[in-house]
Amino acid sequence: MNVCMVGTGYVGLVTGACLADFGMNVVCVDKDEAKIAALRAGKMPIYEPGLEQLVAKNERSGRLRFTTDLKQGVQNSLAIFIAVGTPPNPDGSPDLTFVRQVAEAIAEYRNGYKVVITKSTVPAGTGRMIDEILRSRNGQHDFSVVSNPEFLREGSAIADFLRPDRIVIGASDPRAIDVMKEIYSPLYLIDTPFVITDVASAELIKYASNGFLAVKISFINEIARLCEIMGADVHDVARGMGLDRRIGKLFLHPGPGFGGSCFPKDTAAAADLARNYGDVFEIIEATIRTNERTKARMLDRIVSVTGPVEGKTAAVLGLSFKPETDDIRESPAIAVIQSLRRAGAKVRACDPAAVENARAVLADVVFTEDAYACATGADFVVLATEWNEFRALNLDELGRRLKSRTMVDLRNVYEPREMKAAGWKYAGVGRG
């Protein structure tokens, strides 16, 4: 089957490469000529483990190619995925400008029956908007509109695509459902659950899923704050909760708050969606407030260990919002650095993948190649992102580089007793 993937951002590029690996003939379309030229040259616009190799493999096979020619991509394909950005507006609502523009182009270029699939994260009602655009133009050719939300985690996106928990297909046309089942047939054959529903329900499943996970993160961060006040250990509390199968252990890891391209944007969009229907999504609104408060209180946690930071130098390990990605959007690590700078501290920072992205948003920060260079001459260490290379540091060497053996571990990578036994002044989050 010929598939057109419109948009070569995180979702579009990963999805296009994986569908090509399934045996589809995929053309990825983007209006950014420089990005397309870079992709043709084998240069990835994002950091994602395994993606460069997967793209190269399927380009060599002839199943994956890149172009700026949207018209040709539409006319030569049966299935057309919309995977463009939906950035947040100032009020938190998603900006659907790019989705609308692609739908208008598909309406103009289509030359036969097309299945138009929304892969971008969009609010309920977007499928209806796309349907109206397609129906109002070029009416001689039939079409179907499908919602097929993505559930890819940055850093493990390829594994998530190839071994998903479920495939959600929102469609009312049996022809479109058959096309989607053919596209995902390798997953159907390994008994992946398929959720077949209407378009609006599929659109809401994405927001409901991310919103619920964000609630769990904010909940455990509130518990962590109580643990610090009461002298309890949030790890023990989280384990005691997580062993209850009704709750589960995932997303009960305390830290400096959630960030990235999905949770902040999707919680804001879910709150906006409720407001548009005259309702208030109380739990999501509280989750957003809690997350902002969690990020803000990290400076207090640092000061409780280091004393006033004005005039001191902090060595911050990690810049990305999570390991195995170069994404710094809404990163708690960036928020921590900005708080330290406002409090008068100097900052040295390092990250295995996100330094170049961080340079664009952080002024007066010294970037270093690794944790040991970062710690050299600093007064204390802040572990902000739990990259594997920060999990097994040579603590003696790190301590020698610092002015004092002081660490504030915002990801609870190390054990308090062991750190104190090794002569460190140490604190985690929620470990009283």
pLDDT tens for the 432 residues of the chain, in order: 999 999 999 999 999 999 999 999 999 999 999 999 999 999 999 999 999 999 999 999 999 999 999 999 999 999 999 999 999 898 888 999 999 999 999 999 999 999 999 999 999 899 999 999 999 987 789 999 999 999 999 999 999 999 999 999 999 999 999 999 999 999 988 899 999 999 999 999 999 999 999 999 999 999 999 999 999 999 999 999 999 999 999 999 999 999 998 999 999 999 999 999 999 999 999 999 999 999 999 999 999 999 999 999 999 999 999 999 999 999 999 999 999 999 999 999 999 999 999 999 999 999 999 999 999 999 999 999 999 999 999 999 999 999 999 999 999 999 999 999 999 999 999 997
3-state helix, strand, coil in the chain (%, to 5): 45, 15, 40
Nearest to 232 by CA among 426, 421, 416, 382: 416
Residues forming the active site: 262
**Residue 329 half-sphere exposure toward CB, CA atoms < 13 A:** 13
**197: CB partners within 8 A, 6+ apart:** 168, 169, 170, 205
Nearest to 171 by CA among 143, 188, 196: 196
Nearest to 222 by CA among 207, 238, 202: 238
DSSP 231-266: T-BHHHHHHHHHTSTTT-STT---SS---SSSHHHH
Q: Report the chain's C-alpha Rg in angstroms.
A: 23
What are the structural domains, with CATH classification, of the chain?
Answer: 2-197 (3.40.50.720), 211-427 (3.40.50.720)
Residue 432, number of CB atoms within 10 A of its CB: 15
Side chain identity at residue 343, one-letter code: A
How far is residue 337's CA from residue 201's CA, in Å, rounded to a whole number? 40
How far is residue 404's CA from residue 399's CA, in Å, rounded to a whole number? 7
What's the token pair of residue 20?
């090509």
**342: CB partners within 8 A, 6+ apart:** none
What's the token pair of residue 264?
């902040």
Residue in the structure block whose two tokens are 């001459």: 377
Distances (CA, A) of 335 to 239, 298, 361, 362: 28, 9, 11, 10
pLDDT, position 91: 87
pLDDT, position 432: 74
Q: 302 near 225, Cβ under 8 Å?
A: no
Size (the chain), residues: 432
pLDDT, position 212: 97
pLDDT, position 188: 86
pLDDT, position 168: 98
Alpha helices in 332-415 (DSSP H): 332-342, 355-359, 371-375, 395-401
pLDDT, position 26: 98
**Residue 124 half-sphere exposure toward CB, CA atoms < 13 A:** 18
How far is residue 36's CA from residue 39's CA, in Å, rounded to a whole number? 5
